[in-house]
Structure 1
């Protein structure tokens, strides 16, 4: 009962895709199919009925995602009325093959409709299916096959729907883990700055009476540190989630990136190069570079087929830091799907710090990860 109640209150999936070129091609193909049948096939229903059946079965396909119940209601109610008319007038000719578009509508009501809409739509579908099987005088085998086709379409729509929901949940979990990881690293950054402010304030107070100029220098240092701390605090406000689930411990940073080459044994080998200017680099950015390099190396070792080498390059300039990780393996489809949760986490991390992230195959079929982060790690 709980399972049925859960299905009954299931809402519609969020953000269904708009109709586009593929929908136009599908509708055009089904209409063309009906025209060819009307010309070359015999034993069809009268042409006015053929035209009506084609229109009510095919036209609603355009709105099947945005209005799944309405399209099913219009299509199947009209087709049921047509079949009742065929039974009453004893018009036993077959309807066009384009009526198979009703399988797509059956799939759509379970893929894009709410639980109540799916239940109501299934009732309309079963009523029409019973009526049309009588109208076409089908035998037992054809009757069973007809029900099986439509039940399979409904089951397929429900399966795709729940698979998509599970995937969205897993992506959200990956983003949450990345946000909590970043929150821990940002906490350490703020603690570092606040400690520096306290030390400089103590030093300034100690020398204020005897060396006022040194006290002014201490105040300037405090101002600079306070500005950085404010920036990091703004980042924390944007990403910090459940505080009781967040552990605050020292996190690795840019200084530990070169050590990634030493921590990997066997193939593929890892080569790390660090070049450029990194003074005054935000610790949050340094930690992000380390985490993304670490994740990219792990992905290469797991998924890069026939890879012998992974190169990690970190370059810093006046405004930003660039991380590039590339392997020489084959970027086949197996294990290299662009929507992997590790890549989702890296994308989330880069976005939260105001940077950009790209990952994908190169022209020579290798795999490259590239992230560009502002030195200050200021969120957009």
Structure 2
């Protein structure tokens, strides 16, 4: 288990979109260089003043590449610190060498855990721990101060790792949101295109049959195909416009709802009669529930047009009760002995589940195909945000 965790850490890539350099970096360098100048000029107990000043200036400049080359910057900073520490041990001055402004090295520790790859984190962490342990051992100070100093050195790395994991978690959440949006768009596209294209095919078939006997009927069928095609293109253009120009005012037209069921009932034409019955208070449904009712009826009628063998009628009943809305769609076609659970029915079940309801579909007891849905009013109100506002 530990070996697998280490292998995962070693192969971890760098976080994407790391900024190379921003204005805050220049502000940090300017402030730290100003601190170096003041400390080197005003502080009296500085050992090896020129060396300490040059060393600290180098640490300040290394922060400019801390995101793009975190391992190299940590290696340079802590490697030079180790060399300076060895020189201090050989010369044995009374005070430690260096300026307090050198605390800026903690920024490099943070950047290593925040922006480095797994390999860089492991190697750079080893360098930091080694140099930190050397400094703790060589300095003559109480044990408590050594422990506190070591923790102080490692704390920025812990913060950097926490920020990194938080950013990754947020990115996963956004990816889940985008995935749900893609699923919803797929449902919308399927429901829209499948219905209109099915109606176009049926009208074209009717026109072909009637072309020889009744030219006017064939022309009427072609006009119906043209009308359905224009409506399909209009709805698809609205979807594409919303996807291309999201956030700049492009929005989809208001989704179809119960008020559009009358037009939907006239779509199949003479081949399939739709007996539509609406009962109860259906004028003030929440938008998500209103759209779900329409899509359930639309997909069910489309399936009857495409798959119901010998069907002549589809009975649609939408009943609004105090706490629920019930949708029932039944055709009188012949049973083929197999289910028709394609993308359409899967999408309808997802819609119902998002609203806190349920949808059942299957062959009827005697004939045809039955779709029954029960959708709560309260659930639609509380979960209306699940339908994207584009």
TM-score, normalised on structure 2?
0.58
How far apart are residue 107 of structure 1 and its match? 0.9
How far apart, in 2, do the equivalents of 1:189 and 1:263 lie? Answer: 21
How far apart, in 2, do the equivalents of 1:149 and 1:220 lie? Answer: 78
Kept after mapping to 1: 8 A contact 2:40/2:49? yes
Q: 1:126 aligns with which of 124, 129, 137?
A: 129
- 1:204 aligned to 2:226? no
Q: Kindly tell me: are residues 13 and 231 of structure 1, through their superposed partners in 2, closer, same or farther at Cα, counting changes over 3 Å?
A: farther
- 1:77 aligned to 2:112? no
Equivalent residue of 2:257, what SS? helix
Q: Kindly tell me: are residues 153 and 221 of structure 1, through their superposed partners in 2, closer, same or farther at Cα, counting changes over 3 Å?
A: same
- Tell me which residue corresponds to 1:184: 187
- Tell me which residue corresponds to 1:17: 19
- 1:113 aligned to 2:150? no
Kept after mapping to 1: 8 A contact 2:112/2:120? yes
Kept after mapping to 2: 8 A contact 1:186/1:235? no
- Tell me which residue corresponds to 2:141: 138
Q: Kindly tell me: are residues 218 and 263 of structure 1, through their superposed partners in 2, closer, same or farther at Cα, counting changes over 3 Å?
A: closer
Report Cα offsets for 1:193-235 as digits up to 9, x if no partner.
1221123113312431244254245335435645765788899
- 1:6 aligned to 2:8? yes
Larger radius of gyration: 2
Q: 1:159 aligns with which of 159, 162, 167?
A: 162
How far apart, in 2, do the equivalents of 1:160 and 1:53 lie? Answer: 29
Q: Kindly tell me: are residues 256 and 30 of structure 1, through their superposed partners in 2, closer, same or farther at Cα, counting changes over 3 Å?
A: farther
How far apart, in 1, do the equivalents of 2:72 and 2:231 lie? Answer: 56
- Tell me which residue corresponds to 2:373: none
How far apart are residue 108 of structure 1 and its match? 0.8
- Tell me which residue corresponds to 2:338: none
Q: 1:65 aligns with which of 64, 67, 73?
A: 67
Equivalent residue of 2:52, what SS? helix
- Tell me which residue corresponds to 1:311: none
- Tell me which residue corresponds to 2:102: 99
- Tell me which residue corresponds to 2:343: none
Report Cα offsets for 1:265-309 as digits up to 9, x if no partner.
xxxxx9xxxxxxxxxxxx9xxxxxxxxxxxxxx9xxxxxxxxxxx
How far apart are residue 60 of structure 1 and its match? 1.2
- Tell me which residue corresponds to 1:32: 34
How far apart, in 1, do the equivalents of 2:60 and 2:106 lie? Answer: 11
How far apart, in 2, do the equivalents of 1:256 and 1:178 lie? Answer: 23
Kept after mapping to 2: 8 A contact 1:69/1:121? yes
How far apart, in 2, do the equivalents of 1:102 and 1:124 lie? Answer: 13
Q: Kindly tell me: are residues 90 and 51 of structure 1, through their superposed partners in 2, closer, same or farther at Cα, counting changes over 3 Å?
A: same
Kept after mapping to 1: 8 A contact 2:53/2:98? no
Question: Which consecutive unaligned segments of at least 5 residues does structure 1 have?
Answer: 238-251, 265-269, 271-282, 284-297, 299-341, 351-380
Q: Kindly tell me: are residues 59 and 6 of structure 1, through their superposed partners in 2, closer, same or farther at Cα, counting changes over 3 Å?
A: same
Question: Which consecutive unaligned segments of at least 5 residues does structure 2 have?
Answer: 241-253, 261-280, 288-298, 300-354, 356-384
Kept after mapping to 2: 8 A contact 1:60/1:75? yes
Report Cα offsets for 1:108-129 as digits up to 9, x if no partner.
1111111221111111112222
Report Cα offsets for 1:67-120 as digits up to 9, x if no partner.
110111111111211121121112334411221111111111111111221111
How far apart, in 1, do the equivalents of 2:194 and 2:125 lie? Answer: 60
TM-score, normalised on structure 1?
0.60
How far apart, in 1, do the equivalents of 2:282 and 2:46 lie? Answer: 72
| Aligned pairs for 1:282-293 within 5 A | none
How far apart are residue 184 of structure 1 and its match? 1.2
Question: Number of aligned pairs?
Answer: 259
Kept after mapping to 1: 8 A contact 2:88/2:97? no
Equivalent residue of 1:254, what SS? coil
Kept after mapping to 2: 8 A contact 1:16/1:66? yes
- Tell me which residue corresponds to 1:222: 225
How far apart, in 2, do the equivalents of 1:135 and 1:260 lie? Answer: 81
How far apart are residue 41 of structure 1 and its match? 1.6
Q: Kindly tell me: are residues 222 and 263 of structure 1, through their superposed partners in 2, closer, same or farther at Cα, counting changes over 3 Å?
A: closer
Kept after mapping to 1: 8 A contact 2:200/2:228? yes
How far apart are residue 131 of structure 1 and its match? 3.4
